[in-house]
Structure 1
Amino acid sequence: MSNASSTPMIKVLIVEDDPLISKRYQMILSKDEQIECVGRASSGYEGTMLAALHKPDIVLMDIELEDKQAGLRATEEILNYLPGVKVVILTVCETDDTVFRAFELGATNYLLKNMPADAILQAIKDAYYDLPALHSNIAGKITREFKRIKTTEDSLMHNFYILTTLTPTELEVLELLMQDYSRQEICKLRHVEPSTLKSQINSILKKFNKSSVQETLPVLRELHIPEILAQRKGKL
């Protein structure tokens, strides 16, 4: 009990028009002693009202409610009145360009609706504790590029979603590759055998669905991924 009293309760509001999904989230939240579900809303209007009433720490916000833009409008209204609230967007598809708009409005992160329970709870805690969401860092940067790189608009979301699936080791390796270090140099820097590095690079390529490093790096450079990763680690 002493642990519970020293840990702040995270108040979460669920805004989702599908009652089954909404109930699933409520059930997941109820299993974490640090999280309290303060309400469930099924429309953007109701979500805005309940946010004003309960002043939650986190809002799980479905993008498509009574219409395709309702979640965005509610996000904008809530953040205008309650700038301290963290909004985590719920979406069925990470390539949906409305997610970009949500980040522009100030959303903290996004979640795919079918994510497992532990990923949902982690996203809520990351948002609460201001842990840097790779999603929002990258979205903030590439939103400005969105129209310029219209031909690859599907790959914008897709590529940074893949980045979030890389392990810390794979991210380090990818950063060194993007800085044009040779494989020999990376082995020395990381104190690993060539066979280990080869399997790490193969794992990265498999996630990006590419056959070579040469095929992967230009796409990531065009999306300013090296700068974003450097910013994330406080190098810029």
Structure 2
Amino acid sequence: MRAGFRMILEAAGGIAVVGEASTGGEGVAAARRLRPDVICMDVQMPDMDGLEATRRIVGDPDIPSAVLVVTTFDRDDYLFRALEAGASGFLLKNAGPEELASAVRVVASGDALLAPEVTRRVIERFASASVSGGSPAPAPANAVGAVGAVGAAIDRVAAAGLTDREAEVLRLLAQALSNAEIAERLFIGEATVKTHVSNVLQKLGARDRVAAVVWAHRNGAA
């Protein structure tokens, strides 16, 4: 499988495969040594699984790599745990060669690679679990409670230092819209959207778009 991935990526042009590893432990060591832009990570491996390896790589400030999880299993729990571990993308192994190369480029650019419907489903589950400590957060009991929740969300956005426009961009990011879709929705240029997204990530201290979306759902700003 690794040999096949190497052939696909090297044939795509503009991508250099700098190393391989057969276990999670070897992957973490190789990441520290090689510091690649993107790591294609399997889930089930001997020694250490890919989710734990992802957690260690993303949590190491000396490793600049983004992680693209590539697995044969289309399971919500793997998606959830991959995001929780800090992965920037999730792709199935039955994806075509062009999809794999495109996914690597997307993740290398700092974007997240999840289909919109998958993003919403998994991020919302992640955010609810984070807020409640494992159980979905209860809905407000009445209109007064809802108003209070909205006010708290506004306060958290203000505390993060987001401008009104940046808060709007964050809300659209939480809907899994691309930069082009956000530009169309707000009637602004795509380059302007990129600037707003960069500002949002910086102010939130978010690693990438996935982390920003998690923040939005966790803090009621979605």
TM-score, length of structure 1 as denominator length: 0.52
Cα deviations by residue, 1:98-133 (Å, 9 ceiling, x for unpaired): 221110121001110111100000100011112343
Asked whether the 8 Å contact 2:69–2:87 carries over to 1, the reply is yes
More relative contact order, 1 or 2 (CA 8 Å, 6+ apart): 2
RMSD (CA atoms):
2.7
Matched residue, 1:87 = 67
How far apart are 1:70 and its partner, in Å?
Answer: 1.4
Matched residue, 2:55 = 76
Matched residue, 2:22 = 42
Change (3 A) 1:143 1:116: same
Does the residue aligned with 2:64 lie in a helix, a strand or coil?
coil
Point out the more displaced range, 100-109 or 133-142: 133-142
1:140 aligns with 2:139: no
CA distance in 1, matches of 2:124, 2:64: 22
The residue correspondences of 1:1-236 to structure 2 (distance < 5 A) are 21-66=1-46, 70-81=49-60, 82=62, 84-135=64-115, 137-138=119-120, 139-145=122-128, 228-229=174-175, 233-234=181-182
Change (3 A) 1:63 1:27: same
How far apart are 1:96 and its partner, in Å?
Answer: 4.3
How far apart are 1:231 and its partner, in Å?
Answer: 6.2
TM-score, length of structure 2 as denominator length: 0.55
- Identity in percent: 28
Asked whether the 8 Å contact 1:58–1:85 carries over to 2, the reply is yes
Change (3 A) 1:142 1:42: same
CA distance in 1, matches of 2:176, 2:17: 36
Cα deviations by residue, 1:109-166 (Å, 9 ceiling, x for unpaired): 11101111000001000111123434584333332346657xxxxxxxxxxxxxxxxx
CA distance in 2, matches of 1:228, 1:134: 12
Does the residue aligned with 2:46 lie in a helix, a strand or coil?
coil
Change (3 A) 1:58 1:148: same
Asked whether the 8 Å contact 1:87–1:108 carries over to 2, the reply is yes
Larger fraction in strand: 1
* Structure 1 letter corresponding to 2:50: G
* Structure 2 letter corresponding to 1:129: S
CA distance in 2, matches of 1:114, 1:39: 22
Aligned positions, number: 139
